[in-house]
Structure 1
Amino acid sequence: MELLRTLCQIPAPAGNEAALTQFLLNYIQTASPGWQTQPTVLAGEQWQDCIILVFGQPRTAVFAHLDSIGFTVRYGRQLVRIGGPVLDEGIRLVGRDSQGEIDCTLGSDEETGQPTYEFTRDIDRGTELTYYCDFRETDTTVQSCYLDNRLGVWNALRLCETLQDGIIVFSCWEEHGGGSVAYLAKHIYETYGVRQALISDITWVTEGVHAGQGVAISLRDSLIPRRSYVERIRRIAEAAGIPHQLEVEGSGGSDAKELQHGAQPWDWCFIGAPEDNVHSPDEIVDKRDIASMLALYQELMRQL
């Protein structure tokens, strides 16, 4: 879990993913000689802060978003939300501006209820603040801010170790409306003919999806994937005996939104471990669900 701990500690709020992108590029350069297949790495200004890894003769692409929720400093100690963070007063926030390091707490405006910060000085407007990372590991769980979606990124990186044919995509902006997957998907479809996707992201513990009972295969959220594709995935999971749960939600979304709304005929399925305390500094995931998530992705990338 040390790789996951490191990933969670790197600030990468939506729109400012560059530090995490650079870490991944360094990691890929160092680790990839030990992978079964050496990928082609697509990165640089034309891809903004996204990364595409192409292995062998790809048939399926895995999308994992790099960015997290957070806050942007506005005026008069006001904060503007990035995505949908929990707004409990007293949460520890960190960042950096022209005056130095920032370690402050989340507050609330008494009149408007809008989020504010409490600090010894004014913070430069436009500065991004993120949750302070307190990574906790037990024999059965991991707990930290930003397991959504650093755990999805961790899953994709671990998948790279044994992947022979496939594409791994690290995308940006997912927590705040998307914006990168459309051009990434267009390039992948037009260059490699790939049009089926898996979304390596983290879902929620609910009354129907429980911690410790396996990775969740989503039948739908605010969007509905093509049923025949999802059924193929279900059959592979069942035949492999990998613990999994079926999720049905009427809200929420992921990088799949841009795939389904795009001009190319992409099939997609969201497959992720469930977490509790969503979008808070205390997100928690059962290690059994992490193990089943990676095992299912390995099986699917062999068979799809």
Structure 2
Amino acid sequence: MPKMKFLKDLFDIRSVSGDEFKVSQFLLNTILQRKATWKVAPIIYSGEEFHDCILLKFGTPRTAVFAHMDTIGFMSRYENQLITVGGPELIDGATLVGEDSMGPITCKLKIYNGDLFHDFPRAIERGTYLSFEQNLKIDDDFIQGAYLDNRLGVYNAIELCEELEHGWVVFSTYEEHGGGSMPFLLDFIMKNSPIKQALISDITWVTEGVGHGGGVAISIRDKYIPRRKFLDKLITLAASSGIAYQLEVEDAGGSDGREIQFSNHAIDWCFVGAPEDNVHSPNELVAIHDLKCMLAMYKFLMAHL
């Protein structure tokens, strides 16, 4: 089973795109507390130079793992208006939470003629972030709640650190709302300890071809297409691992992998992550089996790529 206290603490932190500071600080504190127990103590890069991103360098890296810390959400506009941050599921009556200078906020999302509003009894300060209210549920078979995308990808990256000897583990920002941190992160990596390949620790979709309980999904393509030579190498390794996996082929969606492919650097990449149902809603759903396969597959791939 996942490490419950860490997961629950992680899920309780609001971190809509552009407002990742609190979750970044939580992760940095966790890293500082745990690093003495890890097989290799990483070099830690963080602070204003990196905005809210965190980079961990283990040994002599060949591969980097990227996990984005941000989530989808909403922002207050004028009067009682809301606008989206990223692509949240628009559910009339969904409970939203946040805080401005006047105090905590709990309200409902209201949809009128396609426009978004809140029902909070006072005006919310302009530019205030709101998130789906968290209602995390974990049993023997499933984990359900808001922001499994990408809290579980972050959890996987932290767990990977326990045994990692060589590699970069990078926590990025802005992914849900157009990206933006990856260019300077890639430039820093390539100047300091360059790599030729990367894995995207993120959560994908349950579809007609990728289901709960089938193992971690290895994405042959989403909207973007990784280089086939690298995919063949990775899939061959996955097949030899004995860990359950499913191959994903989609024509939509994206991740931090997009920014790697569009960068000035020749870096191969692949999205490897557990599939979820009820995407970008308050009730995202991931099978515990698939999460366990994700954790195991990352440890295997990082040791063999």
1:13 aligns with 2:13: no
Contact 1:7 1:150 in 2 (8 A): yes
78, 81, 89: which is aligned to 2:92?
89
Contact 1:59 1:194 in 2 (8 A): yes
Contact 1:62 1:156 in 2 (8 A): yes
Secondary structure, counterpart of 1:288 in structure 2: helix
Runs of at least 4 residues off by over 3 Å: none
Structure 1 partner of 2:193: 192
Shift of the alpha carbon at 1:120?
1.5
Shift of the alpha carbon at 1:32?
0.9
Contact 1:189 1:195 in 2 (8 A): no
CA distance in 2, matches of 1:252, 1:95: 27
* Superimposed CA distance per residue, residues 48-96 of structure 1 (whole angstroms, 9 cap, x where no aligned partner): 0000000011100000000000000000111110000011111110000
Structure 2 partner of 1:120: 121
Structure 2 partner of 1:270: 271
Structure 2 partner of 1:68: 71
Secondary structure, counterpart of 2:296 in structure 1: helix
What is the root-mean-square deviation of aligned Cα atoms in Å? Answer: 0.7
Secondary structure, counterpart of 2:171 in structure 1: strand
Structure 1 partner of 2:227: 226
Structure 2 partner of 1:48: 51
Structure 1 partner of 2:36: 33
Shift of the alpha carbon at 1:108?
1.1
Shift of the alpha carbon at 1:195?
2.2
Structure 2 partner of 1:205: 206
- Aligned residues with identical type, % of pairs: 50
* Superimposed CA distance per residue, residues 233-285 of structure 1 (whole angstroms, 9 cap, x where no aligned partner): 10111111110000000010000111000101010000000000000000010
CA distance in 2, matches of 1:232, 1:62: 17
Structure 2 partner of 1:260: 261
Give the aligned residue type for 2:266: P
Shift of the alpha carbon at 1:38?
0.2
Structure 1 partner of 2:27: 24
Secondary structure, counterpart of 1:151 in structure 2: helix
Aligned residues: 302
CA distance in 1, matches of 2:55, 2:132: 28
Return the TM-score normalized by structure 1: 0.98
CA distance in 2, matches of 1:164, 1:51: 18
Give the aligned residue type for 2:37: G
Shift of the alpha carbon at 1:190?
2.1
Give the aligned residue type for 1:34: T
Long gaps (5+) in structure 1: none
Contact 1:209 1:247 in 2 (8 A): yes
Secondary structure, counterpart of 1:217 in structure 2: strand
